[in-house]
Amino acid sequence: MDLISRSATDALLDLAVQTPSKFSSQKKQEPPVGSEAKTSDDTYSTGILPIQHLKKQVNLTKEIFALEPILDNQFQPASLDLRLGSIAYRVRASFLPGKSATVKQKLEELAMHEMDITNGAVLERGCVYIIPLLEGLALKHRMSAMGNPKSSTGRLDIFTRLITDNGTEFDHVREQYNGMLFAEVSPRTFSILVRKGSRLSQIRIRRGTPPSSDADMRRLQREYQIVNSPIHGDEIRNGVPVSVDVRGDRSGGLIGYKAKNHAGLVDIDKFQHYAISDFWEPVYAPTRSGLVLNPQDFYILASQNDVMIPPTHAAEMIAYDTLVGEFRVHYAGFFDPGFGHPEAGGEGSRAVLEVRSYEVPFVIEHGQVVGRLAYERLTAVPSQLYGAANASYQGQGIRLSKHFK
């Protein structure tokens, strides 16, 4: 029996490729988003869409649609949380469909088995899964999108990327894309329990190609001090440099955490639930020189300086830069407008860094640049800033994911 083509879930995948008009014609699919979704005049014709315009894309233009009603708490100041569908496919290897194939066609070649996750199922560490999402896009001219893991996903070392039909890049949705979205999910450290509706990733919508220059970021640093550190103008290249703290508040103080290699299962939808000591080892400031990163271990560290995202911009941490070392920093790269902003209660917010070294042990020194924040303007100031409504990481120092108490 053909695993994919004759699967009971084939109907779901077939449904997923219907045009959005078929969804919008069914009144029961109308998303119950809040009445506060008023739009404001654009400040710019290009840029990242703020929350009020994302709601317009759901309610009016139908450029964002879903197999189930979109919930109001999925909307963030400049992004939308994406939900897992009811089926997960275990695959032999990660893939990109390429211009000539759909995700469904690639699954017919690479899927090993499928499982119903409606009421919960375990995704094993070290395995790769493809999960159709409940949300889809019907983007218009000049509209494109970018995906990224949610902050809590990155802090659990869950490697998550967005893929699309005929896609040639991870986490990039081409202009005028019309179809469903899919998540590639690969837990690296902890096996996880997920279910239909769980949220591992998020998406931003971009109109046009807004200019994002080093000169603009130098201006932001001068006007807002977006990174609370003296930075010379020539240090801002393809983003504002972010350095790491390996000293802490005092000699020998806590500077982060290292994940235990054989810890238990994490239910992705249980918050403030797990004891830190069951999953993490504390990392203290070294008495000499820098911190040695062991190959393949996963660390949670913090930036040396406070970080701030002004209401007019959103930011993304560059995930990997071979110029600063053989390690990956920050799976979850989206920083919403208002993060670290005093008016949103974010004064003193540092960037939490998810760090994994690769082939060899690597020493990172206090104050070493480990990544860059690339800022991009919004089309308008969002009607809600990060921190205004139950933000999990506003005002953070060293902070694990919200699953731990």
Output the domain CATH number for residue 171: 2.70.40.10
Overall size of the chain counted in residues: 405
For residue range 344-379, list pLDDT tens digits in order. Answer: 776 768 999 999 887 789 899 999 888 889 999 999
Q: Distance from CA of residue 96 to its chain's centroid?
A: 19
Which residues are paired to 45 by β-bridges?
A: none
DSSP 404: B
81 in the same domain as 146: yes
Final residue belonging to a domain, choices 151, 183, 207: 207
At residue 25, the pLDDT reads 37
Residue 38: pLDDT band by 50, 70, 90 thresholds? very low
Distance between CA 150 and CA 159 in Å, rounded? 11
More confident residue, 388 or 176: 176
DSSP structure string for 123-134: EPTT-EEEEEEE
154 in the same domain as 28: yes
Whole-number CA gyration radius for the chain: 21
Amino acid at 128: V
User: Would 288 be classed as within a structural domain?
Assistant: yes
164 in the same domain as 24: yes
User: Would 180 be classed as within a structural domain?
Assistant: yes
104 in the same domain as 87: yes
127 in Cβ contact with 186 (< 8 Å):
yes
Q: How many domains does the chain have?
A: 2
Structure tokens at 47: 């840029």
* Residue 280 lies in domain: 214-377
Query: Which of 197, 235, 182 minimizes the C-alpha distance to 369?
Result: 235
Amino acid at 91: V
At residue 330, the pLDDT reads 66
Residue 403: pLDDT band by 50, 70, 90 thresholds? very high
- In percent, the amount of the chain with pLDDT more than 90 equals 63
pLDDT above 90: residue 157: yes
At residue 399, the pLDDT reads 87
235 in the same domain as 185: no
pLDDT above 50: residue 186: yes
Three-state secondary structure call for residue 53: helix
175 in the same domain as 310: no
Final residue belonging to a domain, choices 207, 240, 263: 207
Which residues are paired to 372 by β-bridges?
A: 241
Distance between CA 121 and CA 119 in Å, rounded? 7
324 in Cβ contact with 369 (< 8 Å):
yes
For residue range 89-142, list pLDDT tens digits in order. Answer: 999 999 999 999 999 999 999 999 999 999 999 999 999 999 999 999 999 999
DSSP 74: G
At residue 29, the pLDDT reads 37
Q: Distance from CA of residue 92 to its chain's centroid?
A: 24
Which residues are paired to 180 by β-bridges?
A: 136
313 in the same domain as 197: no
User: Would 399 be classed as within a structural domain?
Assistant: no
User: Would 4 be classed as within a structural domain?
Assistant: no
312 in the same domain as 221: yes
pLDDT above 80: residue 244: yes
Distance between CA 377 and CA 358 in Å, rounded? 33
User: Would 382 be classed as within a structural domain?
Assistant: no
232 in the same domain as 198: no
For residue range 279-321, list pLDDT tens digits in order. Answer: 999 999 998 879 999 988 999 999 999 999 999 999 998 865 5
pLDDT above 50: residue 18: no
For residue range 162-171, list pLDDT tens digits in order. Answer: 999 999 999 9
pLDDT above 70: residue 9: no
User: Would 5 be classed as within a structural domain?
Assistant: no
Amino acid at 104: K
Residue 250: pLDDT band by 50, 70, 90 thresholds? low
Distance between CA 182 and CA 195 in Å, rounded? 15
**Interval 252-263 mean pLDDT:** 91
pLDDT above 80: residue 227: yes
Q: What is the pTM of this model?
A: 0.86
Residue 62: pLDDT band by 50, 70, 90 thresholds? very high
Helix or strand (DSSP H, E) at 72:
none
Query: Which of 324, 317, 250, 316 minimizes the C-alpha distance to 287?
Result: 250
293 in the same domain as 247: yes
On average, the pLDDT of the chain sits at 86
User: Would 163 be classed as within a structural domain?
Assistant: yes
141 in the same domain as 66: yes
At residue 23, the pLDDT reads 39
More confident residue, 183 or 355: 183
User: Would 69 be classed as within a structural domain?
Assistant: yes
160 in the same domain as 239: no
